[in-house]
Every structure is written in C-alpha cells, then in structure tokens.
C-alpha cells in the first residue's frame, strides 16, 4: 500500500487536470452538441504563452495575461470557425473543429520552430517538493484536486445562480426556444468558450508544472483523455466529467506503477481508450448522461 500511495496521489492530481479540460468539452457540447476537438490545442497554447510570459514578466502579471489571451483565443475560435456554421450540418462543425485543431498545431510548429519550449520558470511554491506519508511529490499534486473542486463549485454556482448561467442552462435544454425567449444565444455561446478556455489555462499551468518542456502536440493526449472523461461521465454533465476525469487519472497512474515485471505500464494510455469503447458499448450516454428521447 505504501508503494502504491504515490501513484494514487499523482493520479488524483492528473485527474484534476483532466477535469479542468473535460469541463470545456462538456460545456460546449451541452449547448452546441459539438465536440470541440481544438480544445486540447487551446490547452497547449496556454502552456506556450505561459512559458513566454513568465520569461519576461513577473508571475503575478504573467498568469492573468495567459488567462486573458487564452480566453480571447477561445472567443476568436468560436466566432471565426463555429458561428458561421451555426445552421450547417453537424458534420460541418466537426470538420471545422478538426481543421482548427491542426491549424493551431501548425502555427505552434511555425512559431516555435518545432522545438520543445523548456519550462524555465515554474510557478513558485506549487513546484516545490514535499513529503506526503513518506512519499516525495511536488506540492502541485495536492493543490490540483483542491483547486479543481473549488473551481467546479464556482462553476456550479455560476450556472445555477447567475443570469448568464441560467441562460446557458436554457440553451442546453432547448436551443431554439431559448432564442425565441429573447436569450442572446451568441453571447451565451461565446461566454461558454471563454469559461472553457479559462479553465483549460488553469489545467495547463498545473499540468506543465510537472513537465520540463512543451511541444506543439503536447495538448493532443491530455485533450483526448479529457474527452474520454467527459464521455465516461456523460457528456453534457459537469459532475460526470469531473468524476470521469479523476477515475481515469487514478487508473492510468496505478497502471504505470504496477511491477515492471508485468510489463503493462505501456498500456496506461491504451486503457483510457479501451474504457471509452466499453462505455460506449454498455452505456452510450455515460454514467450521468441523460437518455435522449426522440419526438414523434
């Protein structure tokens, strides 16, 4: 048990980071019924901006700047790539999302020369090493789940108690009726992308604290795992996305921690996608997803 504890702690931390990305997927899907495949790349861009910003600005200015610029990127993506296709077939939106993803990756390759960008200025305090129950780990592994839960609670309050939150819930229930009732649907959708991008920034800062460098493809795998977490929990459900993310994070790190003689650590990523297949086969709506009913 003592040897397994560090992997459980790291798994909870990884799950929190996946949860912050997965919420962006589930928010957008809840309103537009769109899988925003570019969301993982927004996560990567936030990391790159953080590298450059922290190299020339103090941390208390760099972090707000990253939040603003990444939220602006999410806003621009929605207005440029998705809004013009609002009335187009859903497949057109999906193709557009994939196109945006590859565009961001290629722009990142161009701007960085394809070279990994070293994280030379990690956030003080959270990147310090600490001892938890005899196991050495970075403080970020403890900060991540606490911060994730706090942000989820704030998001739940936002959706339940504020005007924009109620508009988001109305749009997710019935897009057309919400428009007829006077809800400014364009503003609601833009705010959804801004919130999702801002949460991805927090996840990115925490995630790359434990990595020495960032590459233009660094957002692909975390983005895919977060997508699986959203589907696992029931895409469109915020609590489901969070629970799915924590389960995936814990399971994959435990697999990595199994004895090397078993030679199963190489399947830690494969486990995530095998889980997706199982969930789609047994319960396509996920753990907390609502079953869709067709109107006659």
CA separation for the pair 243, 73 (Å, rounded): 27
Give yes or no for residue 292 having a pLDDT over 90: no
What residues does 129 pair with on adjacent strands? 138
Residue range 144-172: mean pLDDT, rounded: 90
Residue 295: the pLDDT is: 42
Give the whole-angstrom CA distance, residue 190 versus residue 71.
Answer: 10
Q: For 188-242, how does the pLDDT look when each residue is reduced to its tens digit (9 = 90+)?
A: 999 999 999 999 999 999 998 888 889 999 999 999 999 999 988 888 888 889 9
Q: What is the pLDDT of residue 294?
A: 44
Q: Could you read off the pLDDT of 124-143 as tens digits, one per residue?
A: 778 777 777 776 778 888 88
Q: How far apart are CA 219 and CA 226, in angstroms?
A: 10
> How large is the average pLDDT for residues 251-266?
78
- For residue 135, give the 3-state DSSP assignment: strand
Measure the CA–CA gap between 127 and 280, rounded to whole angstroms.
38
Give the angle 120-111-97 at the CA atoms, nearest 5°.
Answer: 105
User: Which residue has 């435990």 as its token pair?
Assistant: 254
Task: Indicate the pTM of the whole model.
Answer: 0.89
Which phi and psi angles does 71 have, rounded to 5°?
Answer: -60, -40
Model confidence band, residue 296 (pLDDT cutoffs 50, 70, 90):
very low
């Amino acid at each position: 048990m003592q040897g397994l504890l560090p992997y459980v702690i790291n798994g909870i931390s990884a799950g929190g980071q996946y949860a912050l990305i997965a919420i962006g997927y589930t928010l957008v899907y809840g309103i537009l019924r769109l899988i925003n495949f570019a969301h993982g790349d927004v996560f990567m861009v936030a990391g790159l901006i953080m590298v450059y910003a922290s190299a020339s600005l103090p941390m208390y200015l760099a972090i707000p700047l990253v939040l603003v610029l990444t939220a602006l990127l999410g806003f621009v993506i929605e207005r440029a790539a998705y809004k013009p296709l609002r009335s187009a077939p859903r497949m057109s939106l999906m193709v557009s999302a994939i196109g945006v993803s590859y565009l961001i990756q290629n722009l990142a390759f161009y701007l960085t020369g394809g070279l990994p960008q070293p994280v030379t200025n990690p956030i003080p305090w959270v990147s310090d090493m600490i001892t938890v129950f005899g196991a050495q780990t970075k403080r970020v592994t403890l900060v991540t789940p606490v911060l994730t839960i706090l942000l989820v609670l704030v998001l739940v309050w936002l959706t339940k108690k504020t005007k924009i939150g109620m508009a988001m819930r109305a749009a997710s229930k019935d897009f057309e009726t919400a428009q007829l009732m006077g809800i400014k649907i364009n503003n609601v959708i833009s705010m959804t992308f801004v919130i999702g991008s801002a949460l991805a920034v927090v996840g990115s800062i925490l995630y790359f604290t434990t990595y020495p460098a960032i590459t233009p493809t660094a957002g692909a795998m975390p983005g895919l795992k977060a997508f699986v977490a959203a589907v696992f929990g029931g895409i469109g459900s915020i609590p489901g996305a969070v629970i799915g993310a924590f389960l995936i994070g814990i399971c994959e790190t435990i697999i990595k921690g199994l004895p090397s003689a078993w030679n199963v650590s190489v399947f830690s990523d494969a486990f995530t996608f095998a889980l997706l297949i199982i969930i789609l086969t047994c319960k396509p709506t996920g753990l907390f997803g609502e079953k869709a009913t067709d109107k006659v």
